[in-house]
Amino acid sequence: MKLTKFTHACIRLEKVGRVLVLDPGVFSETGEALRGADAILVTHEHADHFDADAISASLSADPALLVYAPAGVAASLRGKAPDAADRVLDAEPDTSFDVAGFGIRSFGGQHALIHPHIPVVANIGFLVEENVYHPGDSFIVPDGIAVQTLLVPIHAPWSKTAEVIDFVTSVRAPVAFQIHDGLLNENGLGFAESHVQRIGARYGTEFRHLAAGESVEV
């Protein structure tokens, strides 16, 4: 598969002419990321992962486009794009399904805690083709699965660097790339990634930084 990273948490996957996009949010280049997409997966409702206007516009423009998202996200999207309501499907944790030629497994169920005063929302991590794992805003480790390519939320209001490292060393994927990096400047990003790269290597994970717009084969 070809994996392309966009700003922050958005990932585009391409395989034999089919396109799957995960978490096209308001910080990302959604026009480019969603071009020609066959399906979209949304992990949770926060705007940095879910650009409701861009996704609803894509649904209206493409009568074949499918979206899977947690029930609350899906319901709000059906309200914005009623003409495409039957193509917006609820995603649940601990399930398997196929969409646009990609095999998907789902994990988790809720967003990591930001603060007790901030409500916890639904969050679903997606494993694509038994290979690429996008956890959304969580550190849920898929059980019984050997993840091949890990997408690491490198920085967030709900995490600290120690937890990021623990996540990487728990999953132990051979390869890892950063996501959720849109809130850091170059100094902060370099600092966080250096720890993940150094310690992750001890546990068999090769961590590599991807620039926005950069593509790799996975």
The owner of tokens 């992962």 is 49
The residue-averaged pLDDT of 34-58 equals 97
Tokens (6 digits) for 136: 């959304």
Q: What does the pLDDT look like over 124-134, one tens digit per residue?
A: 999 999 999 99
Residues 6+ apart with CB under 8 A from 7: 27, 28, 29, 182, 212
**Domain limits, the chain:** 2-208
The residue-averaged pLDDT of 13-39 equals 97
Topology given in CATH for the domain delimited by 2-208: Metallo-beta-lactamase; Chain A (3.60.15)
C-alpha 62/C-alpha 201 separation (Å) is: 43
C-alpha 189/C-alpha 85 separation (Å) is: 39
Helices (H), 71-174: 71-80, 161-171
Answer whether 0.85 is exceeded by the pTM.
yes
Sorting pLDDT into bands at 50, 70 and 90, what band is 183? very high
Helices (H), 67-182: 71-80, 161-171
Helix axes of 186-202 and 161-171: crossing angle, nearest 10 degrees: 40
Q: What percent of the chain has pLDDT over 90?
A: 97
Residues pairing with 193 in the sheet: none
